C-alpha cells in the first residue's frame, strides 16, 4: 500500500497552467503505480490551462467549485460531483470563470514505457 497524505503530496507545475496549484496524489514522484497517476489541481479564480492535446486519455472529477472544460469545439461547465473524459488526441483547456477557488481531480494513464536502446 502507498499512502500519500494531502499535506505531503508533491507539488508539480505543468507547462501552460496559470494560477493553479497542482499536487501529485499517486504515481510519478508520489509513489509507485503501474497503470495510472492521480493528481489534484486547485484553480484560483481566473486559473486556466492552454488548449492542448495529449496522446493519453484524461479523466476529470470536480471536487469543489466549478471548472469550464473546453475542447475548442464545445465546452461544459462542470460543478461539484461532475466528471468528464477527454479522449486521446482530443484538445482540452480548463478554466475557472468563477470568483471562488475550484478543485479538480485528474486521473491519467502512465505513458507507455519506452524500450531501452541496445
Q: Does 117 reside within a domain?
A: no
- At 118, the pLDDT band (50, 70, 90 cuts) reads very low
Looking at the 3D structure of the chain, how many domains does it have?
A: 1
Q: Does 107 reside within a domain?
A: no
Gap between the Cα atoms of 25 and 45, Å rounded: 23
Per-residue pLDDT reduced to its tens digit, 1-53: 999 999 999 999 999 999 999 999 999 999 999 999 999 999 999 999 999 99
Gap between the Cα atoms of 32 and 39, Å rounded: 14
Q: Does 110 reside within a domain?
A: no
- At 112, the pLDDT band (50, 70, 90 cuts) reads confident
Q: Does 115 reside within a domain?
A: no
pLDDT at 65: 98
| Cell, residue 53 | 492535446
Q: What is the CATH number of the domain that holds 53?
A: 2.60.120.10
CA dihedral 54, 105, 37, 23 (to 10 degrees): 100
**Domain that residue 89 falls in:** 17-95
Residues 46-72 have a mean pLDDT of 97
Q: Does 69 reside within a domain?
A: yes
Q: Does 118 reside within a domain?
A: no
Residues 96-113 have a mean pLDDT of 92
Q: Does 100 reside within a domain?
A: no
Amino acid at each position: 500500500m502507498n499512502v500519500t497524505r494531502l499535506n505531503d503530496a508533491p507539488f508539480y507545475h505543468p507547462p501552460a497552467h496559470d494560477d493553479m496549484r497542482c499536487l501529485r496524489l499517486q504515481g510519478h514522484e508520489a509513489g509507485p503505480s503501474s497503470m495510472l497517476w492521480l493528481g489534484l489541481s486547485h484553480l484560483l479564480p481566473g486559473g486556466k490551462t492552454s488548449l492542448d492535446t495529449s496522446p493519453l486519455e484524461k479523466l476529470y472529477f470536480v471536487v469543489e467549485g466549478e471548472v469550464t472544460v473546453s475542447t475548442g469545439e464545445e465546452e461544459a461547465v462542470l460543478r461539484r460531483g461532475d466528471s468528464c473524459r477527454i479522449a486521446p488526441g482530443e484538445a482540452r483547456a480548463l478554466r475557472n470563470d468563477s470568483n471562488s477557488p475550484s478543485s479538480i481531480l485528474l486521473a491519467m494513464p502512465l505513458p507507455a514505457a519506452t524500450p531501452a536502446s541496445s
